[in-house]
């Protein structure tokens, strides 16, 4: 089953969580769209159509990516915005659910939690714009009073995040990459450097394979595994001589720079209140 497809729940409204950006006027906007949600009922429309054409199907459609997205639990939310803005939304109409969350046709924001980072004037503007939404400054209180609907198709998400273990893995892998980039003389000659690179490669490959062993349901596993494979390729590149460095290290460096830039932009956008959307 897919994260957001495969299961069509029966009748009734389903509560799920999601995050929003807050626009200057106190509007709630999806992270990747400037179309503000209304107070009360909202209807999703398929946007996967050429400009000017009419949507081919009502949203959501199993074969498309359209519909309002939401998560089964707060642990499942993928975006850093949820550290500042989290909403409980009721969904109805066409609903397609998966292992992580759902896509739906109709949605109404029931409750909204804003972190201390959101300026009080902005929170007041949100309250004026969405009079029917229950506003919270206490996240746990909101989730206790507006619990998300449990669906059978959701897979359990790891409740407690362990950011340090992730950083430890990354730091260890990065030091191996740095060691592999140092001039061979510094390590005591070409033979020693090659031996170190070989050992680093095998350690990284073993770590990448063993990564999800204890927590196979951790959503961070595929991303970290990809990172370990990338560093392993980096350490093994010198064995290919100049060509190896050119065709392995250069593209890896490019991907690394793009990833860091993208990550920095997302972090910056998540902390900006109000968001620059309307």
Q: Single out the residue of 157, 220, 207, 193 nearest to residue 17, CA to CA.
A: 157
Q: How far is the CB of 77 from Zn ion (least distance, A)?
A: 23
Q: How far is the CB of 87 from Zn ion (least distance, A)?
A: 23
Q: Single out the residue of 118, 151, 150, 155 nearest to residue 135, CA to CA.
A: 118
CA dist 7 and 16 (Å) reads: 15
Instruction: Please say which residue, 61 or 197, places its beta carbon nearer to Zn ion.
Output: 61
270 contributes a contact to Zn ion by CB under 5 A = no
Q: How far is the CB of 59 from Zn ion (least distance, A)?
A: 5
Instruction: Please say which residue, 56 or 267, places its beta carbon nearer to Zn ion.
Output: 56
Instruction: Please say which residue, 64 or 134, places its beta carbon nearer to Zn ion.
Output: 64
Cα dihedral 91, 20, 56, 63 sign: negative
Cα dihedral 229, 217, 67, 274 sign: negative
What b/e readout covers 208-242, taking b as 16+ CB neighbours within 10 angstroms? beebeeeeeebebeeebbebbebbbbbbbbbeeee
Site string for Zn ion, 143-162 (x = CB under 5 A): --------------------
Instruction: Please say which residue, 60 or 148, places its beta carbon nearer to Zn ion.
Output: 60
Burial class (CB in 10 A: 0-12, 13-18, 19+), 96: buried
Q: How far is the CB of 66 from Zn ion (least distance, A)?
A: 3
Instruction: Please say which residue, 25 or 58, places its beta carbon nearer to Zn ion.
Output: 58
Q: How far is the CB of 64 from Zn ion (least distance, A)?
A: 3
How many residues of this chain interact with Zn ion, rule: CB under 5 A? 5
Site residues (CB under 5 A) for Zn ion, limited to 32-71:
46, 48, 61, 64, 66
Instruction: Please say which residue, 64 or 118, places its beta carbon nearer to Zn ion.
Output: 64
Q: How far is the CB of 48 from Zn ion (least distance, A)?
A: 5
Upper half-sphere CA count for residue 251 (Cβ side, 13 Å): 7
Q: Which residues bind Zn ion (CB under 5 A)?
A: 46, 48, 61, 64, 66
């Amino acid at each position: 089953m897919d994260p957001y497809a495969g299961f069509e729940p029966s009748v009734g409204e389903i509560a799920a969580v999601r995050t929003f950006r807050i626009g200057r006027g106190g509007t709630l906007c999806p992270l990747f769209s400037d179309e503000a949600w209304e107070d009360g009922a909202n209807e999703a429309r398929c946007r996967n159509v050429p400009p000017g054409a009419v949507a081919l199907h009502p949203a959501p459609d199993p074969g498309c990516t359209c519909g309002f997205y939401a998560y089964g639990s707060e642990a499942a939310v993928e975006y850093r915005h949820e550290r500042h803005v989290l909403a409980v939304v009721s969904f109805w109409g066409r609903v397609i659910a998966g292992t992580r969350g759902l896509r739906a046709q109709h949605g109404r924001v029931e409750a909204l939690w804003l972190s201390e980072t959101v300026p009080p004037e902005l929170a007041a503007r949100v309250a004026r714009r969405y009079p029917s939404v229950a506003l919270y400054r206490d996240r746990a209180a909101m989730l206790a009073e507006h619990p998300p609907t449990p669906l059978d198709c959701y897979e359990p998400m790891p409740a407690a995040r362990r950011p340090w273990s992730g950083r430890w893995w990354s730091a260890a892998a990065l030091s191996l990459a740095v060691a592999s980039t140092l001039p061979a003389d510094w390590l005591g000659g070409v033979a020693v450097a090659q031996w170190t690179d070989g050992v680093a490669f095998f350690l990284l490959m073993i770590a990448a394979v063993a990564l999800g062993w204890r927590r196979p349901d951790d959503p961070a596993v595929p991303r970290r595994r990809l990172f370990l494979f990338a560093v392993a390729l980096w350490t093994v590149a010198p064995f290919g001589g100049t060509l190896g460095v050119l065709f392995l290290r250069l593209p890896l460096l490019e991907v690394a720079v793009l990833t860091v830039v993208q990550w920095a932009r997302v972090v910056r956008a998540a902390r900006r209140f109000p968001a620059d959307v309307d």
